[in-house]
Amino acid sequence: MEQEIAAQVVGLGGANDFSLWQLFLRADFVVKSVILILLVSSIYSWALIFDKYKLFKNINLSTLEFENKFWKARSAESLHGSLPAKSNDPLTKIFQQAMVELLKTKSKSSAVQSARVERVLEIATDNQIKEIEKNFTFLATIGSTAPFIGLFGTVWGIMNSFQSIAISRNTSLAIVAPGIAEALFATALGLLAAIPAVVAYNKFNSDSKRYSARIENFCKRFLSII
């Protein structure tokens, strides 16, 4: 008899524990799955955010350095010869591909040469922008779907709470409070995953457009020179 009473006390103590870990442990399989999906999505989103932040910081500095070298160089050919074979700067890669085509078409007429170099610039620019914007879609997807995934976990948890009322025939708040707390925890995680992803997507999308315009301006000036 004493053991049964002790077990009931422990059970009530666990039900009254609303720490995040206990909320997760008490949740059923569906709500746990929702919580894990949102946690993994949030962690991956933050990893992408730091990666893209570092990327834009680096390419803005390297592109500025390249532009300074370009305008100080005696000629495009001399600059091309002084550049390393492999570079992480997108604008440097675009310039190198354009110079390779320019040197190959030296014997062609200026119109043909200009047209072919322009085509190479367009393709190289498109490839570099695609590389920069890689995984942007994931951030947009998390930003738009995470709240709904969390809402699904919330609805499921509240359904379980109402089922507990029906089974126990007890309308006391103590019966439904744990289930509702688990459900709201899923909603909070959904927002926690979505808000940074949306903010980061908007910022990086704006940074990408500015960088794309920067590349486009350089390509126009480079074409006017050759």
Task: Find the range with the poorest average confidence among 1-5, 191-195, 200-204.
Answer: 1-5
Does residue 5 carry a pLDDT above 60? no
The single-letter code of the amino acid at 219 is C
Is the separation of the CB atoms in 128 and 215 below 8 Å?
Answer: yes
- Residue 16: pLDDT band with limits 50, 70, 90: low
Does residue 153 lie in a domain region? yes
Does residue 183 lie in a domain region? yes
Does residue 19 lie in a domain region? no
User: CA–CA separation, 6 vs 26, rounded Å?
Assistant: 19
User: Tens digit of pLDDT for each residue in 20-64?
Assistant: 566 666 667 777 888 889 899 999 999 999 999 999 999 999 999
User: Tens digit of pLDDT for each residue in 61-97?
Assistant: 999 999 999 888 888 888 888 888 888 899 999 999 9
Buried/exposed code over 178-202 (b: 16+ C-beta within 10 A; e: otherwise): bbbbbbbbbbebbebbbebbbebbe
Q: Work out how many domains the chain is built from and give that number.
A: 1
User: CA–CA separation, 133 vs 211, rounded Å?
Assistant: 11
Global pTM exceeds 0.85 = no
Apex 159 CA angle, 156 and 165, nearest 5: 150
Domain that holds residue 210: 24-225
Does residue 15 lie in a domain region? no
User: CA–CA separation, 140 vs 150, rounded Å?
Assistant: 16
Does residue 2 carry a pLDDT above 50? no
